[in-house]
């Protein structure tokens, strides 16, 4: 749920990047962070481990204009992808306003994509939320590996595995090169701000 600071007239929206370990969640945030001007990005917090690039979360506030007279700030988080950090993933999901699910295009990671997506659904239900009520976009990462003859999933396979029911917008990406990174961020930011504005400002809640 968005945090609204009436004194400062600020709305803080929380977007979480979710997906299996080493799929490119942190790579997305690092690219965004390095590409942004310092006056519109805050400090990014990263904790790395041997088994996964992110143990807790990355935090990147972005200033995105206004809803009525309120300044909008987006905070970007990632979750640790490894199975053993389920409790941490659930903790990071608390109060989420928008989601990016980052899928790994490597063929050997197909089952991990599916398990992570199921894990997302389950954790949201435990927090009394569903995927259908939260803005979400998909990102199919590592598409730069396709021309290298490395066994990769086709877009059709990824769509069948992850987007058959949601039918949401999906972006092809190569996050390490910045391809598709800002397109993904722009779409989820737009959807999230619209969702928060409708929920908290237009309905009177």
d(CA 39, CA 44): 13
Give the orientation angle of helix 110-126 with respect to helix 155-162, to 10 degrees.
Answer: 30
The total of structural domains in the chain comes to 1
Residue 25 in this model has a pLDDT that exceeds 80: yes
Contact predicate 88/104, CB 8 Å? no
CA 172 to each of CA 21, 121, 139, 188: distance values in angstroms, whole numbers, following the listed order = 18, 22, 6, 14
| Choice between 69 and 109, residue whose per-residue pLDDT is larger | 109
CATH number for the domain spanning 91: value is 3.40.50.300
Contact predicate 135/195, CB 8 Å? yes
* Amino acid 69: pLDDT: 82
Domain around 118: 3-200
pLDDT per residue as tens digits for the range 143-178:
999 999 899 999 999 999 999 999 999 999 999 999
Residue 198 in this model has a pLDDT that exceeds 50: yes
Which residue is associated with the tokens 């990102």?
139
CA-nearest of 13, 37, 53, 64 to 175 is 53
pTM score, two decimals?
A: 0.91
Is residue 205 one of the residues assigned to a domain?
Answer: no
Contact predicate 65/106, CB 8 Å? no
Q: What percent of the chain has pLDDT over 70?
A: 91
Is residue 109 one of the residues assigned to a domain?
Answer: yes
């Amino acid at each position: 749920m968005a945090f609204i600071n009436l004194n400062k007239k600020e709305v803080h929206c929380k977007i979480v990047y979710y997906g299996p370990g080493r799929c490119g969640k942190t790579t997305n945030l690092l690219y965004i962070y390095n590409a942004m001007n310092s006056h519109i990005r805050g400090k990014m917090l990263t904790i790395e481990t041997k088994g996964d690039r992110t143990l807790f979360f990355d935090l990147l506030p972005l200033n995105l204009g206004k809803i009525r007279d309120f300044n909008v700030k987006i905070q970007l988080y990632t979750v640790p992808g490894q199975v053993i950090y389920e409790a941490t993933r659930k903790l990071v999901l608390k109060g989420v306003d928008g989601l990016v699910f980052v899928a790994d295009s490597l063929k050997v990671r197909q089952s991990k994509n599916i398990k992570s997506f199921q894990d997302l659904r389950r954790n949201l239900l435990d927090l009394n939320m569903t995927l259908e009520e939260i803005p979400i976009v998909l990102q199919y990462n590592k598409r730069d590996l396709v021309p290298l003859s490395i066994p990769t999933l086709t877009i059709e396979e990824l769509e069948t595995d992850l987007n058959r029911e949601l039918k949401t917008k999906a972006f092809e990406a190569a996050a390490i090169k910045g391809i598709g990174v800002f397109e993904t961020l722009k779409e989820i930011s737009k959807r999230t701000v619209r969702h928060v504005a409708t929920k908290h400002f237009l309905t009177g809640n």
